[in-house]
Amino acid sequence: MFAPLSAIQNALRHSCRSPILTHKQALVTSLATGIILGLAGCIVGILASITSQIVISALFLGSSLLITGLLIYQHFCPLERVVRELPSPVPSEAIPEIPELEMPEPVTPPPSLIPPKPALKKTIKEMVFGWNHIGSTKLLPYFLSSEKIALSFRNPSARFFAWNIPNTQTLFISTSGQIASLRLQSSLPAAIVNVAQSISCSKGGCGTNDLLSSVITDSCWEESKPRSGLLLPGECSSTHWKDRDSFVPTWNPETKTYNKPTRFIQVQAPKASMYRDNSEDCYRLCFKAYLACFEEAIKHDCQIIQIPLFSSFSDFIPKEPIKQRSWLNSAKLALLHALDRMANKYHHKDLIVVLTNTPQPISF
Q: Using one digit for the tens of pLDDT, what is the confidence trace for 86-99?
A: 555 555 656 656 55
Nearest to 192 by CA among 134, 127, 131, 240: 240
pLDDT at 82 over 80: no
Do 315 and 206 meet the contact criterion of CB atoms below 8 Å apart? yes
pLDDT at 326 over 50: yes
Where is 126: in which H helix or E strand? Answer: helix 124-129
Residue 132 Ramachandran class (φ > 0 left, ψ -120 to 50 alpha, else beta): beta
The overall pTM is greater than 0.85: no
Packed helices 51-76 and 23-48: angle between N→C axes, nearest 10 degrees: 150
SS (H, E, C) 132-199: EEECCHHHHHHHCCCCCCCEEECCCCCCEEEEECCCCCEEEEEEECCCCCCCEEECCCEEEEEECCCC
Q: Span 99-120, mean pLDDT?
A: 55
Give, as one character, the DSSP assignment of residue 286. Answer: H
Residues 6+ away with beta carbon under 8 Å from 286: 269, 270, 310, 311, 330, 331, 334, 335
Domains located in the chain, CATH noted: 5-81 (no CATH), 122-357 (3.40.220.10)
Backbone phi, psi, residue 174, to 5°: -110, 120
Do 306 and 190 meet the contact criterion of CB atoms below 8 Å apart? yes
Give, as one character, the DSSP assignment of residue 355. Answer: E
Q: Which ranges constitute the DSSP H helices of 252-310? A: 279-299
Residues 6+ away with beta carbon under 8 Å from 38: 58, 61, 62, 63, 65, 66
Angle of CA points 362, 192, 130, to nearest 5°: 40
pLDDT at 144 over 50: yes
Do 289 and 234 meet the contact criterion of CB atoms below 8 Å apart? yes
pLDDT at 2 over 50: no
pLDDT digits (tens, 9 = 90+) for 153-188: 999 999 999 999 999 999 999 999 999 999 999 999
Give, as one character, the DSSP assignment of residue 6. Answer: H
